[in-house]
Amino acid sequence: MALLIKNGTVINADQTLKADVLCDNGKIVAVGPDLDAPANAEVVDAAGQYVMPGGIDPHTHMQLPFMGTVASEDFYTGTRAGLAGGTTMIIDFVIPSPQQPLMEAYATWREWASRAVSDYSFHVAVTWWDDSVHEDMGRLVKEEGVNSFKHFMAYKNAIMAEDETLVNSFNRCLELGAMPTVHAENGELVYHLQQKLIAQGLTGPESHPQSRPSEVEGEAANRAIRIAQALGVPLYLVHVSCKEALNEIARARQEGQRVYGEVLAGHLEIDDSVYQNEDWGFAAAHVMSPPFRPKEHQAALWKGLQGGTLQTTATDHCCFCAEQKAMGKDNFSMIPNGTAGVEDRLMILWDSGVNTGRLTMNEFVAVTSANTAQIFNIYPQKGRIVEGADADIVIWDPTLEKTISAKTHHQNVDFNIFEGRTVKGAPSHTISHGKVVYANGELFVEEGAGRYIKRPSFSSPFTAQKRFNEVNAPSAVNRD
């Protein structure tokens, strides 16, 4: 069935226009004034609202086995919650165990993700190295549409990638036209500081940020950037949380290096005072890595986002309930790391970004959708309201007020780091594949409706834009 969105204002990263949007067969087929609705089309009146590309969250961990447990959010519940908040696609992470073949882990994650209700894609982590990893990376890029590989510089004795692995994997990414990404924390320093604090009897959640000071992130960011510079490969840094890492990205970009930075909604809004709360469960619920930082880092991150040093926003959505967090009751280093946010990101960024004047509406679209699509080579299939693009759309009511709470959110976790926050501006409708899947507080989702989105390599002669143009040539599109 066709869908016509009437009377709204279309907001793209580079353009604002008063226009209707017609969707059919999962695609946007027309954008313009006063469009006529085909027979039997569903019509949504977006008067007074903004029509924007659906959010893309480039950093989630659904159903992740981690630190002796498994994240409480699976691909069904997580993508469902995302749609309720206007996010129509996630890029999750395949994380092989040390010595596990990459293709084996990838097959497992693909099976788990088959329940997703919105589109998804994967970064694949490189946690070890031998010739089989080299070969599997080639298969993933050429056959499976994976164009990014994750490297954890933290989590010693688990999934931490040593410098030798970084060099080998970064070089393989260069050969394949793929993007290396890093979790930048010096794992050796973190491990040393954890053991030192525990030996002193400082075992509570308040020690978590002390074991991961901003210096360990800044050092790792610099090291990864310099390795990428020496090899001539681009680099994407996930969840940048501090001034030190931000400054390293700014320096590299000023020198002409292709380096990208991602910031989490939580790191923009929450400071390290949460770890001093007398309620152990409250403090533990905020344990994630990198940790929340002192307020001066938040101010720097906002400036980095405004000034273009940081290009994307994400959540690192990785949920663990109170019972799981209690695994670290006597040792903060055993508290499963992770917080939620896939449902809340767009509302938080609109309220703290657009409503305060920090971001324009076009910049909001850029940092929540378009930039991610461009960096990971799926633009304008995703990230833009334009003819031929996927009909993944959020209709945004700037007057709608909502109080965020674990009691009412759709995320499968018993805590919300934004608990009690009232935001102004929220989705009235979310459209996935041209179908209304969320409207005025109600979800209408179908388990398994999400599609796996392949992302072409950057060295391919058939770039995302060229492929998009070919698929949407007049002869290839049915406009009847």
pLDDT of residue 250: 98
pLDDT digits (tens, 9 = 90+) for 277-326: 999 999 999 999 999 999 999 999 999 999 999 999 999 999 999 999 99
What does pTM read for this prediction? 0.96
pLDDT of residue 479: 34
Residues 424 and 432: their CA atoms lie apart, in Å, by 23
Contact 28, 21 (CB under 8 A): yes
Which whole-number Å values give the CA distances from 292 to 235, 271, 315, 402, 423, in the listed order?
23, 5, 13, 24, 21
Buried b (16+ CB within 10 A) or exposed e, 146-157: bbbbbbbbbbbe
Structural domain tally of the chain? 1
Contact 110, 452 (CB under 8 A): yes
pLDDT digits (tens, 9 = 90+) for 386-427: 999 999 999 999 999 999 999 999 999 999 999 999 999 999
Say yes or no to pLDDT of 256 above 60. Answer: yes
Q: Comparing 36-40, 59-63, 317-321, 328-332, which segment has the lowest mean pLDDT?
A: 36-40
Average pLDDT, the chain: 96
Q: Stretch 32-60: mean pLDDT, rounded?
A: 97
pLDDT of residue 22: 98
pLDDT digits (tens, 9 = 90+) for 180-224: 999 999 999 999 999 999 999 999 999 999 999 999 999 999 999
Token pair of 270, please? 């929450």
Dihedral sign (CA 440, 59, 389, 365): positive
Contact 75, 115 (CB under 8 A): yes
Q: Which of 416, 410, 413 is nearest to 430 (CA)?
A: 410
For the chain, the C-alpha Rg in angstroms (whole number) is 21
pLDDT digits (tens, 9 = 90+) for 431-441: 999 999 999 99
Dihedral sign (CA 407, 409, 415, 419): negative
pLDDT of residue 476: 46
Residues 116 and 73: their CA atoms lie apart, in Å, by 11
Say yes or no to pLDDT of 462 above 70. Answer: no
Amino acid at 279: D
Say yes or no to pLDDT of 80 above 90. Answer: yes
Domain that holds residue 254: 1-480
Q: Which of 429, 191, 412, 215 is nearest to 317 (CA)?
A: 412
pLDDT of residue 122: 98
Task: Indicate the pLDDT class of residue 468, thresholds 50, 70 and 90.
Answer: confident
The residue to which tokens 């090291």 are assigned:
223
- Residue 156 makes CB contacts below 8 A (sequence gap 6+) with 187, 188, 190, 191
Say yes or no to pLDDT of 26 above 50. Answer: yes
Instruction: Say which residue, 268 or 480, is predicted with more confidence.
Output: 268
- Residue 371 makes CB contacts below 8 A (sequence gap 6+) with 13, 311, 312, 383
Residues 104 and 318: their CA atoms lie apart, in Å, by 22
Note the residue count of the chain.
480
End-to-end CA, the chain: 13
Looking at residue 42, which CATH number applies to its domain? 3.20.20.140
Q: Stretch 16-45: mean pLDDT, rounded?
A: 96
Number of Cβ atoms within 10 Å of the Cβ of 448:
13
Say yes or no to pLDDT of 21 above 50. Answer: yes
CA angle 445, 122, 64 (to 5 degrees): 75
Residues 361 and 381: their CA atoms lie apart, in Å, by 20
